[in-house]
Amino acid sequence: MSVVLVLLLGVSSGVSADPLETLMNKFEEGKYSKKGADGCIMCHKKSETVMAIFDGVHGQLNSKSPMSGLQCEACHGPKGKHRGKNEPMVTFGEQSPLTSEMQNSVCTACHNDTTHMAWNTSLHAEQDVSCVGCHDVHVAKDPVLVKDLEVAVCSECHISAKADMNKRSSHPLKWGEMTCSSCHNPHGSMNESALNEIDVNQTCFECHAEKRGPFLWEHAPVMENCANCHNAHGSVNDALLNSRVPMLCKQCHADDGHAGTAPSGNSSIQTGGQGCLNCHGKIHGSNHPSGKAFQF
């Protein structure tokens, strides 16, 4: 709890009166109750939400659990004279008078291991997303940790990722076969877009290893970045493509020049739906000795 104390006291000078000041005074005086959870349950046992904490990990008795220490007050701060609205407790969520950073300091006081190292520099932390923006603790099982439910939690804020996911072609996120954290670290990472691996390609290779190569004949944009052609979140085009073939290819390959070399002439090349791929089928690279143009 020392971290909370420091943070709360840290802002005390700038804030006048009201709940926050009362709270800080309580921390200063260290007015934890002697009765622990029993002294809270007395009044709060009617709330199913409150009592549900005993069905979850934070309600269990093990050496590091809140219930083995300050109990409810490990998260809600010292009781002091709290008996309702007369004196505030530490609260969480958007209604709380405490900043996200202060709320989070309660959680990181215990959750400060290496898996959360990147949190402080993550965009989530920077944009004031709080731990409880994703996590629920007064529940038997935190939904964001359930594979079928994680995506719904992320989608509350990430509307466009949700929209992409419902397009014609997408990763199997809707069915809980994959989750957002299959590719991203929700607590942040040192990588662009908080990806799990060092870059886009390495992230994709985790599951699409066959695209890694090495290939005798490499297609430069594939080696550079899968996102040159694919939108990992979803697309109205087949195979998560950013645009349809042949438009996709023509973004980089001018029409002229090819007409001279392709055996069947200009028209079929220009008009066929999958035209380019009919001949250049090994678009991610080829290991055939004469596969320079990715035909085999």
The span from the CA of 202 to the CA of 227, in Å, is 12
Report H helices in the chain.
2-10, 18-29, 37-44, 48-51, 72-76, 100-108, 123-126, 131-134, 147-155, 159-165, 200-205, 220-224, 247-250, 258-261, 266-271, 275-279
User: Is 149 near ligand HEC (CB under 6 A)?
Assistant: no
Residue whose CB is less far from ligand HEC, 15 or 83: 83
CB of 272 to ligand HEC, least distance (A): 6
Measured between alpha carbons, how far is 215 from 282 in angstroms, rounded to an integer? 11
User: Which residues in 233-252 contact ligand HEC (CB under 6 A)?
Assistant: 233, 239-241, 245-246, 248-249, 251-252
**Residue 22 engages ligand HEC in binding (rule: CB under 6 A):** no
DSSP reduced 3-state for 157: coil
With contacts defined by CB under 6 A, name the span among 5-13, 20-28, 256-264 that binds ligand HEC. Answer: 256-264
| Rounded distance between C-alpha atoms, residue 104 and residue 125, angstroms | 9
Q: What is the largest distance, in Å, between two alpha-carbon atoms of the chain?
A: 88
Among positions 193, 244, 282, 296, the unique one binding ligand HEC when judged by CB under 6 A: 193
Compare residues 16 and 63 and give the one whose CB is closer to ligand HEC: 63
Asked if 257 touches ligand HEC (CB under 6 A), the answer is yes
219 binds ligand HEC (CB under 6 A): yes
**What's the closest the beta carbon of residue 107 comes to ligand HEC, in angstroms?**
3
What is the sign of the dihedral through the CA atoms of 111, 37, 101 and 5?
negative
- Total residues found in the chain within this entry: 296
The binder of ligand HEC chosen from 3, 5, 11, 109 (CB under 6 A): 109
Tokens 């709270």 appear where? 23
Contacting ligand HEC within 36-95 (CB under 6 A) = 37, 39-44, 47, 49-50, 53, 57-58, 64-66, 69, 71-76, 79, 82-85, 89, 91-93
CB of 30 to ligand HEC, least distance (A): 13
